[in-house]
Structure 1
Amino acid sequence: MNKTLPLIATLATLAAYPAAAQDAAAPAEAAAAVSADVVYIFNTLLFLMGGFLVMWMAAGFAMLEAGLVRSKNVTTQLFKNISLFAIAGIMYWLIGYNLMYPGDGWTVQGVIGQIFSPKGLDAVGAGNAEDGYSAGSDFFFQLMFCATTASIVSGTLAERVKLWPFLIFTVILTGLIYPIEASWQWGGGFLSEMGFSDFAGSTLVHAAGGFAALAGAIVLGARTGKYRPDGRMQPMPGSNLALATLGTFILWLGWFGFNGASQLAIGSVSDAADVSRIFVNTNMAASGGAIAAIIVTQLLYGKIDLTMVLNGALAGLVAITAEPLTPTVFAAILIGGVGGALAVFVVPMLDKLKIDDVVGAIPVHLVAGIWGTMIVPATNEGTSFVTQAMGVAAVGAFVFVISFIVWTVLKATMGIRVSKEAEISGLDISEMGMEAYPDFVQAK
């Protein structure tokens, strides 16, 4: 074999490269002019990939909560996270999706439409390129947001709530409460018409979950021994900070799907560029939140609190979710940083009010979610602070009041809190009959 042939071919390729590069530098319009089929494929892939990244966040919530509760309650938290995800899937298919996107009206068939006329899937082998993406990919992606809302409630009420009342509330939250309030914006409802802006759900998902958790925490009450008679707070450290840290990294990763796929399109050069911009801003906001929590805890307590840093990163992610596209990178860091600082400051405020939030979901999702929504007009022309405030108030009032009523009814009818003895021994034994760490003796 002649060894000079590969060298000749390589030189020929290099010689031709400038011409090839010149051809590639054709007008952007020509380069972006892809067929409707290609756009449909790329957009569908964005929804599906974003959806399974957000689904992976369910694992993040499970690990975060398992690490932040005491070891005698870990099995119960893991069960709650997998069961709420399954419930969300059924309820969103059965009622939620059509309720959130009512189409021609909220008729009986429109509300419980998945039984009679499912619009969550295309027919086998079918698909309409003119739609821009497959119906199944849209349903799958939107379902993940619904499940995320329920996950937020789980951690706040940990270590003292009964399982069955919690599961019943999850049915109502995922089937009715979340789809209704989300329809006001993403289903073309009155918030959308008035100009409210919430790109990926700082309020519609995170603050909504936070309001539901707050209502539950108030009705349920604090854990036994959490607040002493003299008003001091009794620390109740989590069982495994390694798991909590792993959960935070999983949530951080999943957020790229949460925010990135909320662009809802990647079939053009501009959309692809915007998705990448969203990724960068999402990451930098989380970094800003973590750094802010490091600084604030050092200044307040003289030592860095890892759990606060974890929640600071998550608060930064929640804050940027309302508008991850238009801010500059520096602005994204500031938005995330303020979110992280708020999460640290709100924790002692809740303790003064004797509102027991085991994992810090209310500061992270509710407070940072409101902050992120309210700061949108600073980086997004065409929105107003008044409109943003009205949207937050509408969602907050609806979710909190309905959740409070549901929790109160459950408390009066079947009880929502385990007995004091069960709480002391741990919910793993009283509610589940199995322990996550059976080889260890629990200290009471």
Structure 2
Amino acid sequence: MTIETLNSGLDTIWVVLTAAMIILMEGGFALLEAGFVRHKNNVNIIMKVFVDITIGALCFYLIGFAFMYGKDAWGIIGTSGFALLGDLSHIQLSISLDTFWLFQAAFVIAVISIVSGAVAERINFRAYILYAMIMTAVIYPIAGHWVWGGGWISQLGMLDFAGSAVIHALGGFSALAAAMFIGPRKGKFTPLGTSTIALPSNIPLASVGAFLLWFGWFGFNAGSTLSGTDARIGHIAIVTMLSAASGGAATLIYTLFRYKRSDAPAVINGSLAGLVGITAGCAFVSDQAAILIGAISGLLMLFATNWLESRRIDDPVGAFPVHAVSGVWGTIALGLFATEGGLFYGGGWDLLGVQVLGLIVLCVWGFGMTWLGLSLIRLWIPVRSTEEEEEMGLDISYHGVLAAYQEHEFIHYQDHYTDFSNKTAD
């Protein structure tokens, strides 16, 4: 066995394991979002996550991967590799193409899950399926090609190690567009302009979801090395931990002194904001910079949450404050704190300027294409649930009698093909 073969084997094991960690984050998204919404919509949240991981993965396999990593055309889009067929020899890897696809598929599933939370409790389930197909086959892959697939933004020198911009800022601004397009939940804002609070159904459940996301983020960031022998893995892991801890600590202390109580949802989202903020620069910034990036991410998340309320935009789980705002900050912070090329380390304005340009393009692309995609879907089917469906709850409206919490052990069941209720005993 040669050293090259051994290293390739180790890299394959590492990438498959970290891909599995990222896929496990879908369980985190499911629990987090289910805990933040009302009981009558818990199952609908879970079903949307299953849409992400099933239909989303298939769309990325058939179409999205080719757009993202296929042979470059004009720096805009990939043109080969549909269903992993055709010429993909330009992708130079120490691992197999199948392994690389699995890791990238885990990322695309996370992107669509960001949008899921922002439209919770009022999106038409069928419309969500169609939007998930558009996001995973077109919107994210094309943007990913620009930065990671050899496209025009990467040629300018933009850095985004694990996706603060490509995944979180893009997904967060897509979530903002979707939330604005669909409108707030019924009763969220009063005619007087005041906001009401829909109490979360299960904060402990949401916290478990956050811990699963935190765990998966080590795969998200460290796995992006695509090599189990990369010397940066330990540093990436520690800055990921420090930024998440700092984001949670900043929100905990702020709410404790500002409101005389430590707000649990804010601390949960503050930790997640810290994770988002460090994702771009985890391989490029110091421990101390990671702590600062995380703390600012947490505080920006709080301010963005209040801004949404002031603009009467309903985001039940805080998808935009956590992912878009922290993703934007984390991408800019890389231009400031990168130990090689960062503004504060003598690198000048070049890197920072490219980071800002790339951000603007990705955010506008995500917002605009989501608005366009939902507009096209609305020509065919309603994008929003009806008032009756929303009032009853999306669990029963879209998923039959199934509900997350049942009050009775048995319910009457009538088969679609045989009416057993009319049969009598012999």
TM-score for both structures, normalised by structure 1: 0.85
Equivalent residue for 1:24?
none
Q: Residue 391 of structure 2 corresponds to which residue in structure 1? A: 424
- Once the two structures are superposed, residues 384-432 of structure 1 have per-residue CA deviations (whole angstroms, 9 ceiling, x without a partner) of 2211110001111111111111112223431111111211111111111
Residues 255-404 of structure 1 mapped to structure 2, 5 A cutoff: 255-267=217-229, 271=230, 273-380=231-338, 381-382=340-341, 384-404=351-371
2:344 is matched with which residue?
none
Counterpart of 1:334, as a letter, is L
How far apart in 1 are the matches of 2:180 and 2:77?
35
* Alignment correspondent of 2:420: none
Letter in 1 for 2:360: A
Measured in 1, the distance between the counterparts of 2:87 and 2:102 equals: 13
Give 1:29's aligned residue: none
Question: Counterpart of 1:411?
Answer: 378
SS class of match (2:170): helix
Write the distance in 1 (CA, Å) between the matches of 2:361 and 2:80.
22
One-letter amino acid of the counterpart of residue 71, structure 2: G
Aligned to 2:42: 74
Q: CA deviation at 1:163?
A: 0.2
Q: Secondary structure at the match of 2:232?
A: helix
* Cα distance between partner residues in 2 of 1:211 and 1:118: 33
Aligned partners of 1:350, 1:69: CA distance in 2, in Å?
17
1:119 Cα deviation from its structure 2 partner:
6.0
* Number of equivalences: 395
1:146 aligned to 2:108?
yes
Contact 1:40 1:131 in 2 (8 A): no
Instruction: Determine which of 211, 219, 223 is the counterpart of 2:185.
Output: 223
Corresponding position: 1:191 with 2:153? yes
* Native 8 Å contact 2:15 2:228 kept in 1: no
Larger Rg: 1
Instruction: Give 3-state SS (helix, strand or coil) of 1:222's partner.
Output: coil
Seen in structure 2, the aligned counterparts of structure 1 residues 97 and 284 have a Cα distance that, compared at 3 Å, is: same
SS in 2 for 1:368: helix
CA distance in 1, matches of 2:282, 2:57: 27
1:58-81 alpha-carbon deviations (Å, 9 max, x no partner): 110001011011000001001000
Kept after mapping to 2: 8 A contact 1:285/1:337: yes
- Residue 137 of structure 2 corresponds to residue 175 of structure 1: yes
> Contact 1:215–1:407 at 8 Å: present in 2 too?
no
Q: Partner residue of 1:114?
A: 83
User: Structure 2: how far apart are the matches of 1:262 and 1:83?
Assistant: 25
What are the Cα deviations for residues 19-38 of structure 1, in whole angstroms up to 9, with x where unaligned?
Answer: xxxxxxxxxxxxxxx71111
Which AA in structure 1 matches 2:33?
Answer: E
Tell me which residue corresponds to 1:98: 66
What's 2:124 paired with? 162
**How far does residue 282 in structure 1 lie from its aligned partner after superposition?**
0.2
How has the CA–CA distance of structure 1 residues 58 and 108 changed in structure 2, closer, same or farther, with 3 Å as cutoff? closer
Identical amino acids, percent of aligned pairs: 37
Measured in 2, the distance between the counterparts of 1:265 and 1:36 equals 12
For 2:85 and 2:30, locate their aligned partners in 1 and report how far apart those are by CA, in whole Å.
34
Shift of the 225–109 alpha-carbon distance from structure 1 to 2, 3 Å rule, reads closer
| Rounded Cα–Cα distance in structure 1 between residues aligned with 2:321 and 2:398 | 28
Q: Which residue of 1 aligns with 2:167?
A: 205
219-228 vs 428-437, which moves further: 428-437
Letter in 1 for 2:83: Q
Deviation, 1:154, is 0.5
Conserved 8 A contact 2:119-2:316: yes
Q: What SS does the corresponding residue of 2:32 show, helix, strand or coil?
A: helix
Letter in 2 for 1:113: F
1:242 aligns to 2:209 (yes or no): no
Aligned to 1:52: 20
Q: 1:404 to 1:111 in 2, by over 3 A?
A: farther
* 1:302, distance to aligned residue in structure 2 (A): 2.1
Deviation string, structure 1 residues 1-22 (Cα, Å, up to 9, x no partner)? xxxxxxxxxxxxxxxxxxxxxx
Provide Cα deviations, 1:199-229, integer angstroms capped at 9, x if missing partner: 1000100111111111111110000000111
Superposed displacement of residue 241, structure 1: 0.8
Q: What is the match of residue 137 of structure 1?
A: 99
> Cα distance, 1:265 vs. partner?
2.1
Please report how far the alpha carbon of residue 301 of structure 1 lies from its aligned counterpart in structure 2 after TM superposition: 2.0
Q: Could you tell me how far 1:109 is from its partner in structure 2?
A: 10
Gapped regions of structure 2 (runs ≥ 5): 342-349, 409-426
Q: 1:214 to 1:294 in 2, by over 3 A?
A: same
Instruction: Answer with 324-333 or 88-97: which moved more.
Output: 324-333
**What residue number does 1:125 align with?**
none
CA offset at residue 292 of structure 1? 0.6
Alignment TM-score, normalising by the size of structure 2: 0.89
